[in-house]
Structure 1
C-alpha cells in the first residue's frame, strides 16, 4: 500500500496534467458544435470498427459449429435426394420402386481426423465407429463426390480405404455417353483418376461427368466420381484412355458421409446362393 501511495506522490504532476487535459477536452467538446460533431463522428467510426472486429472474431470461433451444422443438413438432404431418385428413376417413366428399395441408403455424418494422400495406398480415419452403427464395407462420400470404403472399425473410430489406393476400383458411368467402366487411381496425382473400359467408338468430351453406376451395392448411383480432363485412345485401339479430375479434394477433406445400404447383405446373400447353384 505504501508503494502505491509513493507512486501517486511521485507522479502527482503527471496525473494532474492528464486530469486537466481530460477536463479541457470535455469542455471543448461540450462548448463547440464543430468539435462535438467531430468527436461524435470519430468515436462512432472507431466504435463501429471495433465492433466489426469483434463480430469477425466471434464468427471465426463459431466456424467449427457452423461447419458441423452444415454437415448435418447435407446428411439430411442427401438422404432425401437419394430416396427420391431411387423411388422414381429417369427411365422407364412408368417404373416405381417399392419403399424399402427406395429407402435402402442411410447416411451418417463423420469428422475426418487423419488423412493421407502421399502414399500408393492411402487411408482416412474418422470419428465414428461400431457404437454409431458403422461396420466394414460401408461406402464413404464427401459433399462433392466419392471418398472410399470402411475397412476396419472399433467402438469410436473407423479407418477408410481411400479411393487413392492401388486396389480400389469403383464402377462408374459416363452420364452423356451412358457407358460404364472402372475408375482407378494410378498412384501419381491425388487429384486425378483413370477411367478404363470405355469403348473407343463412344463419344467422350472434356468436362463430361463420371458418376457411380447402378451396378454396385456400396454406393448410391449418381455420386460424382470426377469430370473428364483428357481423352485419348489406348494402344490397342479398343478403349479410350480417359483421365478424370477427381470430384473430392482430399487435401482439405473435413466432413464425410458414411453410406449404409440396408439391403446389401440380403442382395449379396442371394447372389452367393445363385453362384453356388451354378
Structure 2
C-alpha cells in the first residue's frame, strides 16, 4: 500500500496530465457532433474487429468437433446416395428392379487417420477404429473425395489400411463417358497420379473424363471417384491405352475416412468358394 502511495506522489503531475487529457477528450466528444460521431464510429470499428478475432479463435478451437460433425453428415449422405443409385441404376435395362437388401447393402463408419504414408513404394495408413468397432480385414476405405484403400490388419482399436498408393493394390474402375472398365494401379512414383490399365484403344477416351469405381466390385460401392483422366497415349503395337489419372483424393491431407461395410460380402464370397471347389 505504501508503495502505491509513493508511486502516486512521485508521478502526481503526470497522472493529473493524463486525467485532464481524458476529461478534455470526453468534453470534446460530448459537445461536438462531428467528433462525437467520429469517436463512436472508430470505437465500433475496433470493437467489431476485436469480436471477430475472438470469434475466429473460438471457432478454431472447435474445428475438430466441426470436422467430426461434417464427417458424420458425409457418411449419412454417402449411404443415402449409394442406396438411391442402386435402387435406380442409370444403365439398367427396362424392367430391372433390384431388391431393397441389395440396394442398401453398403454402410459407412467414420474413422480418423492417425498415421499416413505417401512417399513409399507400398504406402499404408492407420485409422483409429478396430475390431472393437466392428472393423474387419478386407473392408473398403474411402474419403469424402474418393477411394482410399482397403483394410489389411486390425487390432482392437486400430486398423492398418493398404492405400491405393500401393504397388499391389488395384481397384476396378469405369470411365464415366465411354463406360469402359479398367483397373486403377499405382506406378510407385507421384502420389497425385495413378495409371488406369486394360482399357481398349478401340474406344474413345476423353481427357478430363472421370473414373469411378465400377459395378464389378464387392468392396467399394459403384460410383466412388478414383480420379480424372490427365493423360492418354497409345503405342501402335499395343491394344490398350496408357491412361494416367489425377487422383481425386489428396492423400497428404487425409484427416477423416469412411470404412465401407458390404453386408452381403460374406454371401458373395461363399458363392465364389463353392465355384472354386466344384471346378
Q: Distance in 1 between the 2:119 and 2:106 partners?
A: 31
In structure 2, the gaps of 5 or more residues are none
Q: Distance in 1 between the 2:172 and 2:160 partners?
A: 22
Q: Distance in 2 between the 1:69 and 1:176 partners?
A: 34
Alignment of 1:58 onto 2:54: no
* Equivalent position of 1:84 in the other structure: 84
TM-score by length of 2: 0.95
* Equivalent position of 2:191 in the other structure: 190
Report 1:2-21 matches (<5 A).
2-21=2-21
- Deviation, 1:182, is 1.2
* Equivalent position of 2:261 in the other structure: 260
* Equivalent position of 1:33 in the other structure: 33
* Equivalent position of 2:169 in the other structure: 168
Misfit runs of 4+, over 4 Å: none
Report the 3-state secondary structure (helix = DSSP H, G, I; strand = E; otherwise coil) of the residue aligned with 2:113: strand
Report 1:141-220 matches (<5 A).
141-220=142-221
In structure 1, the gaps of 5 or more residues are none
- Deviation, 1:31, is 2.0
Residue by residue over 1:157-209, the C-alpha shift from the partner in whole angstroms, topping out at 9 and shown as x without a partner, is 11111000010011111222222111100000000111111111111110111
Task: Say what the alpha-carbon RMSD is for the aligned residues.
Answer: 1.4
Q: Distance in 2 between the 1:81 and 1:49 partners?
A: 42
Residue by residue over 1:131-166, the C-alpha shift from the partner in whole angstroms, topping out at 9 and shown as x without a partner, is 211111110011111000011112221111100001
- Deviation, 1:105, is 0.4
Q: Distance in 2 between the 1:120 and 1:51 partners?
A: 49
* Equivalent position of 1:231 in the other structure: 232
- Deviation, 1:234, is 4.1
Q: Distance in 2 between the 1:137 and 1:113 partners?
A: 19
Residue by residue over 1:215-234, the C-alpha shift from the partner in whole angstroms, topping out at 9 and shown as x without a partner, is 12110111111111111114
Report the 3-state secondary structure (helix = DSSP H, G, I; strand = E; otherwise coil) of the residue aligned with 2:89: coil
Residue by residue over 1:48-78, the C-alpha shift from the partner in whole angstroms, topping out at 9 and shown as x without a partner, is 2222222222232232222221111110000
Q: Which deviates further from its counterpart, 36-45 or 223-232?
A: 36-45
Alignment length (residue pairs) = 278
Q: Distance in 2 between the 1:130 and 1:98 partners?
A: 30
Q: Distance in 1 between the 2:235 and 2:129 partners?
A: 42
TM-score by length of 1: 0.95
* Equivalent position of 2:117 in the other structure: 116
Report the 3-state secondary structure (helix = DSSP H, G, I; strand = E; otherwise coil) of the residue aligned with 2:141: strand
* Equivalent position of 2:69 in the other structure: 69
Q: Distance in 1 between the 2:264 and 2:34 partners?
A: 78
Q: Distance in 2 between the 1:127 and 1:115 partners?
A: 12
Alignment of 1:49 onto 2:49: yes
